[in-house]
Amino acid sequence: MSALSSQRPAFEASFSASRTATLVQTALVVAIALACMRWLNLWWGLAVVSLMTAFIFHDRKRLPPPLRCMGEGRWECRRHGQWQPITLHLDRLGPWLVELRLDGQRHAIWFDALGEDDFRQLRMALMAHRKAQTSPDNGAVS
């Protein structure tokens, strides 16, 4: 294998804001606000809506940085215009939602934050990462 081919990423992704995440968060806000209005009063419900809406819009702006898998369990993210090695820890790997930590910072990646093929490739790369991390060769407990 040449040095050039070993530098090519196995997978690379740039994320966008998820409409599904916003919809789920909004539904929760409405449910909590209605409960506050029902059992407390209207002002508590309005306060909850205002505060939680601010959190939702703040969360929409906080996207994971562009991410790429270099193979063999090595991951990089693009920060300040350069690709930098990172520590990736996979917390959840589901069909619609992936939760991971990039250098300790938690991110939830919904299926609509990437294209369909890109999300599938991300899940495959993360499955390989999980398998490599839990294999007996690495000394980790399965």
pLDDT in tens, 13-62: 888 888 888 888 888 888 888 888 788 878 877 887 777 777 777 666 67
Domain-embedded: residue 129? yes
- Are 79 and 124 in a shared domain? yes
- Are 89 and 124 in a shared domain? yes
Domain-embedded: residue 88? yes
**Residue span of the structural domain in which 26 resides:** 21-60
- Are 130 and 111 in a shared domain? yes
Q: What is the pLDDT of residues 93-128, one digit of tens each?
A: 999 999 989 888 888 899 999 988 899 988 988 888
Q: What is the pLDDT of residue 142?
A: 37
For residue 132, pLDDT over 60 is answered with yes
CA distance 78 to 68: 8
Domain-embedded: residue 76? yes
Number of domains in the chain: 2
